[in-house]
Amino acid sequence: MTPPTARRSGLAAASGLALIALAGLSLGWRAAMLSYLAAWLVLLALPVGAIPLVIAMERFAGRESGTETALLAALRRLLALMPVAGLLALPVLACLGLLYPWARGATPATPLAAIWLTPAFFAARLILFLGAWLWLARRLARLGGIDARGAILGIGLHAVVGTLLVTDLVASLDHRLGSSLMGLLILISWSGLAAAVAVLLCPAPTEPARAEIRLILLVVPTALWAFLHFVQFLIVWSANLPDEVLWYFARGGWSGRGLAILGGGVALLGAVLTLRPGPGTARLLAWPIVALHAAEMFWFVTPALRDRFVLAWTDILALAAVLCLAVAALPVGARLMRPGPAAPGRAAA
């Protein structure tokens, strides 16, 4: 690491820690760490959400048509954030007692929860899950780094790890909603966020086919995400489940309704834009998708303490802190993710 890079990383790390301290001293450390957890999930969404997209594009699209190598390269750039996200999980592990009721001695809901939700077992699982994603990201960072069998195993591993991690990190914050859809819902949300950021990182397409590919990559996960949200809400509403209703009440209010309207509007906008895709339509859709899914992480996490959804200034501080800490950790991440040569006998994606 050169001296200018070291100074930049040190300044970014100091700024990030100062922002976390400011949030904690102002409104309490639990509120600050819940905001940090939500902001960290936004960062984690970028490399984790890119994993299934890279697998799909390399195996089923890019290798045959070769029409969207720029987007595939942008998604691989997001994979480089995986070790950075792993390092930034350390504050979460250090503050389990602040974040989770079960880590403070709350009565477990079931006998399995008494075994599953313990600090040591939780920490071991989180490290294992992040390590599995890091391994996948390193494999995918190499051109042609995964074959057909590896693609199937990779998607399966991603789905299992993601579902379990979401259950640990998000669902166990607020036990009132016991939904088997939450893991899949958040994984799709992360892929939508990663796709939108990748589109914004790419230069504007010059060919209609590439513009259409980018738009489809945004519209499909957004439509599926909206459908799963609707199904989950419909089940709770139709069954009138008391605890689940309270979970949704805590995430309602004007801010929650506004986020729901934004989500429906983005899904509708995506459907309309597919009728006449143009060079700038994907970028037009990408901006609100980024805002939507970033705010959604706070919608899932912060009402566990506030019992209502509202974007507070501590959330903004947490986002800025995570950004600064990510910049500080980028040199380490770059060394860990430095891709090797393309696999022998495979064409570059």
Pairwise pLDDT comparison (81 vs 1), residue with the higher score: 81
Tell whether the model's pLDDT for residue 54 goes beyond 50. yes
> Residue 223 and residue 270: Cα distance in Å, rounded?
8
Q: What is the structure's pLDDT at 347?
A: 41
Mean pLDDT, range 86-112, rounded to an integer? 91
pLDDT band at 107; cut points 50, 70, 90: confident
Q: What is the structure's pLDDT at 244?
A: 92
Amino acid at 146: I
Tell whether the model's pLDDT for residue 292 goes beyond 70. yes
pLDDT band at 349; cut points 50, 70, 90: very low
**255-264 tens-digit pLDDT:** 999 999 999 9
pTM exceeds 0.75: yes
Mean pLDDT, range 166-188, rounded to an integer? 93
For the chain, domain boundaries: 8-336
Length of the chain: 349
Pairwise pLDDT comparison (243 vs 296), residue with the higher score: 296
Mean pLDDT, range 292-308, rounded to an integer? 95
Tell whether the model's pLDDT for residue 225 goes beyond 50. yes
Q: What is the structure's pLDDT at 168?
A: 96
Query: Percentage of residues in the chain with pLDDT exceeding 90?
Result: 70
Tell whether the model's pLDDT for residue 340 goes beyond 60. no
Q: What is the structure's pLDDT at 207?
A: 82
Number of helices (H) and strands (E), helices first, in the chain?
17, 0
Tell whether the model's pLDDT for residue 28 goes beyond 70. yes
Q: What is the structure's pLDDT at 345?
A: 46
pLDDT band at 106; cut points 50, 70, 90: confident
Q: What is the structure's pLDDT at 242?
A: 87
Tell whether the model's pLDDT for residue 305 goes beyond 70. yes
Q: Which of 188, 190, 183 is nearest to 168 (CA)?
A: 183
Q: What is the structure's pLDDT at 343?
A: 47
What backbone phi and psi angles, to 5 degrees, belong to 302? -70, -30
Mean residue pLDDT of the chain comes to 90
Spell out the alpha helix ranges (H) of 274-348: 281-301, 303-306, 313-336
Tell whether the model's pLDDT for residue 147 goes beyond 90. no
Mean pLDDT, range 162-177, rounded to an integer? 94
> Residue 187 and residue 170: Cα distance in Å, rounded?
12
Mean pLDDT, range 6-12, rounded to an integer? 89
Tell whether the model's pLDDT for residue 287 goes beyond 50. yes
> Residue 152 and residue 20: Cα distance in Å, rounded?
40
Q: Which residue has the tokens 């859809």?
A: 181
pLDDT band at 209; cut points 50, 70, 90: confident
Q: What is the structure's pLDDT at 68?
A: 67
Q: What is the structure's pLDDT at 254?
A: 92
Mean pLDDT, range 114-140, rounded to an integer? 95
Q: How far is CA 33 from CA 19, 97, 119, 143, 322, in A?
A: 12, 11, 16, 38, 11
DSSP state for residue 178 in the 8-state scheme: -
Query: Percentage of residues in the chain with pLDDT exceeding 70?
Result: 93
Contact 220, 56 (CB under 8 A): no
* Residue 205: strand, helix, or coil: coil
Q: What is the structure's pLDDT at 144?
A: 66
Of 191-205, 206-220, 298-312, 330-344, the range with the lowest mean pLDDT is: 330-344
Give the distance, in angstroms, between the CA of residue 279 and the centroid of all CA atoms in the same chain: 27
Q: What is the structure's pLDDT at 348?
A: 38
Query: What dihedral do alpha carbons 153, 156, 159, 160 form, nearest 10°?
Result: -100
Mean pLDDT, range 327-333, rounded to an integer? 90
